[in-house]
């Protein structure tokens, strides 16, 4: 059984519930990553690399707008890069994998968003 974990109060994503399973894996309550998404090699074939700037730390919503034209898809970048709390885990110079919008649509159109 999963239990609810809350992010730190200063996190922009503090209202997004996280769940932790028996194996201590933490994931977003609003979305369960499809098994195929774990295969990062297939995603890398249709992705770009983004080097994080200081003013982008914790702002996956801005990156989602830049690459997908939809701020609500911030969780895709978080999931692909195994980020739980972007404010804590992102840093200037970090390279993030940004999947193509075609890959994003493939997963979101399959009902992966919960």
Measured in degrees and rounded to the nearest 5, phi and psi for residue 64 equal -65, -40
Proportion of the chain above pLDDT 90, given as a percent: 29
Please report, for residues 18, 86, 105, the alpha-carbon distance to residue 40 in angstroms, rounded to integers and kept in the order given: 22, 19, 16
- Asked whether residue 6 is assigned to any structural domain, the reply reads no
**15-46 pLDDT, tens digit each:** 666 677 777 777 666 545 555 554 555 666 67
Residue 38's domain comprises 34-108
- Which of 83, 103, 96 lies closest to 42, judged by CA? 103
Is 25 part of any domain?
no
> What is the C-alpha separation between 67 and 108, in angstroms, rounded?
15
Tell me which range, 3-7, 14-18, 46-50, is most confidently predicted by mean pLDDT.
46-50
For 54, the token pair is 């200081």
Give pLDDT tens digits for 10-20.
665 666 666 77
In terms of pTM, does the model score above 0.75?
A: no
Say if 81 falls within a structural domain. yes
Domain count, the chain: 1
pLDDT at res. 69: 93
């Amino acid at each position: 059984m999963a239990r609810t974990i809350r992010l730190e109060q200063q996190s922009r994503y503090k209202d997004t519930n996280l769940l932790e399973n028996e194996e201590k894996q933490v994931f977003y309550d609003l979305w369960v990553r499809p098994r195929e998404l774990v295969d990062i090699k297939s995603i890398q074939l249709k992705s770009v690399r983004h080097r994080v700037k200081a003013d982008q730390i914790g702002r996956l919503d801005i990156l989602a707008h830049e690459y997908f034209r939809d701020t609500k898809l911030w969780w895709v970048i978080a999931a692909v890069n195994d980020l739980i709390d972007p404010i804590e885990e992102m840093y200037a110079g970090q390279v993030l994998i940004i999947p193509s919008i075609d890959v994003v649509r493939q997963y979101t159109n399959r009902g992966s968003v919960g």
